[in-house]
Amino acid sequence: MNAAGGTLRMIEQALAVLRPLHLQVRDDSHLHAGHAGARDGGGHYHLDIVSEQFAGRTAVARHRQVYAALGSLMGHSIHALAIQAWAPGERPVTASPSTTLSAKED
Amino acid sequence: MDIRDVIQNQIGSHPVVLYMKGSADFPQCGFSANAVRLLRSCGVDQIHTVDVLQDPAIRQGIKEFSNWPTVPQLYVNGEFVGGSDIMTEMYQSGELAALLKPAH
């Protein structure tokens, strides 16, 4: 397993505390290679997650829940993270193409 | 001056403050570039930007101040709004324009 695949798996494992009903983590690092802001290392990832724990919460609160779950991965293995965080029933069917390492859907 | 005071002063002195990588004209990160583009699309021409790449103390300090681990970060009227994704969602829903209308 390469390093990028390892980080994807670590992200998925860390997010398990949010009991996601749907989880897609995509490595977008290749889109950002070499830019000045990425010099400190770590990859760029895209997260598409559905959890009941987001229900009734603002976008800021949801992102903070994700950041809290990821803990020290943020800023180390993860340089940048785009987040789409949905409560059940909110996620549009057109969201996120399925170019992911793994996906779990109920 | 404590870094928290520096930040408090910045967000208190300007209605729209964007902490970003690079400048509005030369963003050094795609997310920061997106944030600038959204603000301009909402008619904010004079964006007060703070380039975190120029100041390690601000770069670390703003993450702790906002309890938010990434940059860009938008403040409007002294209140934390969010990062690039939240700005995009708010732009698409019209909330961002509504929030910014009285602020510039």
Measured in angstroms, the CA of A2 and the nearest CA of chain B are apart by 25
Tally of domains in chain B: 1
Task: Measure the CA dihedral A73/B32/B63/A24, to 10°.
Answer: -30
Cα separation, A88 vs A55, whole angstroms = 7
* pLDDT score for A104: 37
ipTM exceeding 0.90? Answer: no
**pLDDT (tens digit per residue) in A91-104:** 887 655 544 444 33
For chains A and B, CB pairs below 8 A equal 47
Instruction: Work out whether strand A103-105 and strand B16-20 pair parallel, antiparallel, or are unpaired.
Output: unpaired
**pLDDT (tens digit per residue) in A26-84:** 998 877 666 544 555 578 899 999 999 999 999 999 999 999 999 999 978 888 899 99
* pLDDT score for A40: 54
Q: Are B85 and A84 in contact (CB < 8 Å)?
A: yes
Q: Which helix (H) or strand (E) holds B49?
A: strand B48-51
Q: Which CATH number does the domain housing residue B34 bear?
A: 3.40.30.10
* pLDDT score for A43: 85
3-state secondary structure of A23: strand
**pLDDT (tens digit per residue) in B41-85:** 999 988 999 999 999 999 999 999 999 999 999 999 999 999 999
* pLDDT score for B46: 82
- The answer to whether the beta carbons of residues B85 and A82 sit under 8 Å apart is yes
Instruction: Work out whether strand A22-27 and strand A43-50 pair parallel, antiparallel, or are unpaired.
Output: antiparallel
In A3-77 the beta strands, taken as DSSP E runs, fall at 22-27, 43-50
pLDDT at position A106 over 60: no
Residue B59 forms contact with A (CB below 8 Å): no
Task: Measure the CA dihedral A48/A52/A56/A61, to 10°.
Answer: -50
- The answer to whether the beta carbons of residues B22 and B51 sit under 8 Å apart is yes
Mean of the pLDDT values across residues B26-42? 95
* pLDDT score for B103: 63
CA torsion sign for A28, B70, B90, A87 is positive
Average per-residue pLDDT for chain B: 95
Domains of chain A and CATH, by start: 3-102 (3.30.300.90)
Q: Are A63 and B21 in contact (CB < 8 Å)?
A: no
Q: What's the half-sphere exposure (Cβ side, CA atoms, 13 Å) at A90?
A: 18
Residue B71: give the domain boundaries.
3-103
Mean of the pLDDT values across residues A4-32? 90
Mean of the pLDDT values across residues A6-13? 93
Q: Are A38 and B68 in contact (CB < 8 Å)?
A: no
Residue B3 forms contact with A (CB below 8 Å): no
* pLDDT score for A80: 87
Lowest mean pLDDT among A58-62, A75-79, B26-30, B86-90: A75-79
